């Protein structure tokens, strides 16, 4: 069994955990983060991609709205490399309550969320495809955010401050020393399941919707985090260039987010039985496409590319009905296990939103410092993440501009996402065991209109050629990748997307005979 020692162990490699490990490392603690799969594989990698201005919550939850407004402003600066400053709009469509708009504007003003009302005519000039029947429109400071860039930016910063980041380390046991938590035992799935014992003076549980499971392992039962399942669908055109929200109480399919070359409609909100089994129901897909039609008439004429589901970490509140997830609080929750369970050296931070991850980290690390009698201040809002030092947010053409700079020297591996061979080889060099899903999260492999049809076989070939993985392992990685892609493809198969899927199938079956490729033992 491998052994490590740390001042602080952080469980969970989503936005919250990455923010916590950075914060702790910047305050001078020897910090280690463990994540059961890859960073950003949990809810943060399955969300809607919106850096909230706060407008969505101004009426229903002014405190969350204010937090979002403040944090969004901070992230536009310190995490500029992960943000596209698209701006946003709230529009009253013919399907919305016309009375909501006045209350919305007043609530935003009260919560410190910037808005500016513009005429419907100006709104349509900015967003020509939006429903021409809109009656009112408000500009807001919504933006779109690349979750993986955000998480890895935090992780890289934490490493620069001496932290260790350990993906594929699955916590199987929380160590107890009398009435204190003393670290954890993990299974290292990147190295054949070897056990790793991490002894730590303090453990912070940032496991999102799985936080209750980690608290159970620490023998602090009863932490109820309800999985609020939501689905989203990426369409193959960027139909809007700003985030467009319906000016109505929060409901299903009321936000359309432009993300790079596509746009994403979402989302739904129902209680899931388990955060690990998130189905995408056919009826919900139709509901989302109808919702898209209300915002952008003709929405269904574009091609649905991919659907996915995530589970919100909703902390159960004694006053709320836990079946009605839409009305459970989106607020953040710090659970002090010393006060609650008499267990020292252990805090849980969950709930909240990706937009407020930095604030959540600051609050929980402050709470830890208070227990430890440490007075180091939080510096995460003042220092930029690596790559964001120029405070320039990215824009639609950024990847193309980057690609054009190396056009003659570097082969193109993925036409849809403009992925070049150089960054791919560099990643395989750093992480020889990377799965194709890991490559997708870092480099956007297979996320464009062909959904991996052309690029995935090329990546398999390159992985073979580099000798990082034997032929069988690369073949198995390809098959696993395609199986995972299929989960988000089959619920939306209709129209042109069927043609794309059949073409991809011909490529994989016809040219590679993928079913019969030799594969290494799992």
Residues that bind ligand FAD (CB under 6 A): 11-17, 34-37, 41-44, 47-50, 52, 170-171, 206-210, 230, 267, 310-313, 350, 352-355
- 3-state class (DSSP) for residue 108: helix
| Cα dist from 240 to 118, 305, 306, 435, whole Å | 17, 16, 18, 33
Classify strands 194-205 and 2-11 as parallel, antiparallel or unpaired. Answer: parallel
CB-based contact 308:515 (threshold 8 Å): no
- 3-state class (DSSP) for residue 84: strand
Q: Which two tokens stand for residue 107?
A: 């609530």
Which residue number, 182 or 459, has a Cβ lying nearer to ligand FAD? 182
Provide, rounded to whole angstroms, the least separation between the CB of residue 508 and ligand FAD: 29
Which residue number, 295 or 414, has a Cβ lying nearer to ligand FAD? 295
Provide, rounded to whole angstroms, the least separation between the CB of residue 214 and ligand FAD: 6
Provide, rounded to whole angstroms, the least separation between the CB of residue 379 and ligand FAD: 20
Which residue number, 32 or 459, has a Cβ lying nearer to ligand FAD? 32
Query: Which region holds residue 41: left if phi is over 0, alpha if psi is between -120 and 50, else beta?
Result: alpha
CA angle 267, 495, 232 (to 5 degrees): 10
Provide, rounded to whole angstroms, the least separation between the CB of residue 481 and ligand FAD: 19
Which residue number, 30 or 36, has a Cβ lying nearer to ligand FAD? 36
Provide, rounded to whole angstroms, the least separation between the CB of residue 417 and ligand FAD: 21
Which residue number, 278 or 428, has a Cβ lying nearer to ligand FAD? 278
Nearest residue relative to ligand FAD (C-beta): 14
Provide, rounded to whole angstroms, the least separation between the CB of residue 519 and ligand FAD: 26
Provide, rounded to whole angstroms, the least separation between the CB of residue 133 and ligand FAD: 26
Asked if residue 95 has a cis previous peptide bond (ω within 30° of 0), the answer is no
Question: What does 354-372 look like in DSSP terms, one character per residue?
Answer: GGGHHHHHHHHHHHHHHHH
Provide, rounded to whole angstroms, the least separation between the CB of residue 100 and ligand FAD: 21
Which residue number, 166 or 514, has a Cβ lying nearer to ligand FAD? 166
Provide, rounded to whole angstroms, the least separation between the CB of residue 491 and ligand FAD: 15
Which residue number, 367 or 519, has a Cβ lying nearer to ligand FAD? 367
Interatomic CA distance for residues 250 and 461, integer angstroms:
46
Which residue number, 151 or 474, has a Cβ lying nearer to ligand FAD? 151
Three-state SS sequence of 116-159: EEECHHHHHHHCCCCCCCCCEEEEECCEEECHHHHHHHHHHHHH
Place of tokens 């299929």: 486
Distance of CA 331 to the CA centre of its chain: 17
Q: Which two tokens stand for residue 143?
A: 């933006």
Exposed, middle or buried: residue 521 (CB in 10 Å: 0-12, 13-18, 19+)? Answer: exposed
Interatomic CA distance for residues 163 and 406, integer angstroms:
33
Which residue number, 173 or 374, has a Cβ lying nearer to ligand FAD? 173
Q: Radius of gyration over alpha carbons of the chain, in Å? A: 23
Which residue number, 247 or 456, has a Cβ lying nearer to ligand FAD? 247
Identify any residues that bridge with 311 across adjacent strands, giving them in sequence order: 229
- 3-state class (DSSP) for residue 102: helix
Provide, rounded to whole angstroms, the least separation between the CB of residue 306 and ligand FAD: 14
């Amino acid at each position: 069994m491998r052994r490590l020692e740390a001042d602080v162990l952080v469980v969970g490699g989503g936005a919250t955990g990455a923010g916590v490990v950075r914060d702790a490392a910047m305050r001078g603690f020897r910090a280690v983060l463990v994540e059961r799969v890859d960073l950003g594989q949990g809810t943060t990698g399955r969300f809607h991609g919106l850096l909230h201005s706060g407008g969505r919550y101004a009426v229903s939850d002014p405190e969350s709205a204010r937090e979002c407004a403040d944090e969004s402003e901070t992230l536009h600066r310190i995490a500029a490399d992960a943000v596209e400053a698209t701006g946003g709009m709230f529009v009253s469509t013919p399907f919305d309550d016309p009375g909501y708009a006045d209350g919305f504007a007043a609530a935003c003003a009260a919560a410190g969320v910037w808005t500016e009302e513009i005429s419907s005519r100006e709104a349509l000039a900015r967003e020509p495809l939006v429903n021409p029947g809109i009656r009112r429109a408000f500009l807001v400071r919504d933006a779109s955010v690349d979750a993986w860039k955000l998480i890895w930016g935090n992780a890289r910063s934490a490493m620069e401050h001496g932290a260790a980041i350990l993906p594929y380390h699955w916590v199987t046991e929380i160590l107890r020393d009398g009435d204190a938590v003393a670290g954890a035992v993990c299974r290292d799935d990147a190295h054949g399941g070897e056990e790793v014992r991490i002894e730590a003076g303090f453990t912070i549980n940032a496991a999102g919707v799985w936080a209750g499971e980690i608290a159970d392992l620490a023998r602090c039962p009863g932490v109820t985090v309800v999985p609020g399942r939501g689905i989203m669908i990426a369409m193959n055109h960027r139909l809007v260039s700003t985030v467009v929200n319906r000016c109505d109480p929060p409901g299903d399919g009321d936000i359309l987010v432009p993300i790079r070359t596509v746009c994403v409609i979402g989302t739904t909100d129902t209680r899931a039985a388990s955060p690990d089994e998130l189905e995408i129901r056919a009826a919900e897909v139709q509901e989302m496409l109808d919702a898209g039609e209300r915002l952008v008439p003709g929405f269904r004429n574009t091609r649905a590319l991919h659907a996915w589901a995530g589970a919100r970490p909703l902390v159960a509140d004694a006053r709320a009905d836990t079946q009605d997830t839409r009305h459970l609080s989106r607020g953040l929750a710090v659970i002090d296990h010393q006060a609650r369970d008499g267990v020292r050296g252990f805090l849980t931070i969950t709930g909240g939103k990706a937009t407020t991850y930095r604030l959540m980290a600051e609050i929980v690390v402050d709470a830890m410092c208070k227990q430890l009698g440490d007075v180091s201040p939080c510096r995460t809002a003042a220092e930029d993440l690596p790559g964001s030092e120029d405070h320039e947010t990215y824009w639609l053409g950024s990847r193309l501009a980057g690609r054009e700079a190396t056009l003659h020297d570097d082969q193109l591996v993925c036409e849809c996402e403009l992925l070049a061979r150089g960054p791919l080889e560099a990643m395989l060099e750093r992480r020889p065991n990377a799965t194709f899903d890991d490559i997708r999260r870092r480099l956007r492999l297979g996320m464009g209109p062909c959904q991996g049809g052309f690029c995935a076989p090329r990546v398999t070939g390159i992985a073979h050629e580099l000798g990082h993985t034997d032929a069988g392992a690369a073949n198995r990685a390809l098959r696993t990748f395609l199986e995972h892609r299929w989960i988000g493809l089959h619920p939306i198969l209709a129209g042109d997307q069927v043609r794309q899927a059949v073409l991809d199938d011909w490529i994989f079956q016809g040219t590679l005979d993928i079913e019969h490729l030799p594969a290494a033992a799992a």
